[in-house]
Amino acid sequence: MTPQVKRILDEVNKLTPYERAEIIDLILDSFDNPVDKDVEKAWVDEAKRRLAAYRNGETGLKSEEEVFSSLVSDNKE
């Protein structure tokens, strides 16, 4: 461990568990590719559309068993 990493770790260990979790999230996020804002917006729009359809009674819900059962039967064909 380099002296710089040791110094940072010593400081991190002084933080609360919540603050350390935030640091972990930020470090992990730094490894990800930059977010494509258009893709992110499309997912948000799709989630809103699906929620509205559910609330308006245009679609229903399936249980976990129904979903996995249909996946298994689809793969057998």
Write out pLDDT tens, residues 12-67. Answer: 999 999 999 999 999 988 887 777 889 989 999 999 999 999 999 999 888 999 99
Range of the domain at 52: 37-76
Cβ neighbours for 54, distance < 8 A, ≥ 6 positions apart: 60, 61
Residue 26 and residue 52 in one domain: no
At residue 76, does pLDDT exceed 80? no
Residue 2 and residue 24 in one domain: yes
Which tokens belong to 30? Answer: 């730094």
Amino acid occupying residue 70: S
Cβ neighbours for 61, distance < 8 A, ≥ 6 positions apart: 54
Residue 51 and residue 22 in one domain: no
Going by pLDDT thresholds of 50, 70 and 90, the confidence category of residue 11 is very high
Q: b/e for 17-52, b at 16 or more Cβ within 10 A?
A: eeeeeeeeeeeeeeeeeeeeeeeeeeeeeeeeeeee
Residue 49 and residue 72 in one domain: yes
**pLDDT of amino acid 32:** 72
At residue 77, does pLDDT exceed 80? no
Residue 27 and residue 41 in one domain: no
Residue 42 and residue 27 in one domain: no
What is the tally of structural domains in the chain?
2
**pLDDT of amino acid 30:** 86
Which tokens belong to 22? Answer: 């935030």
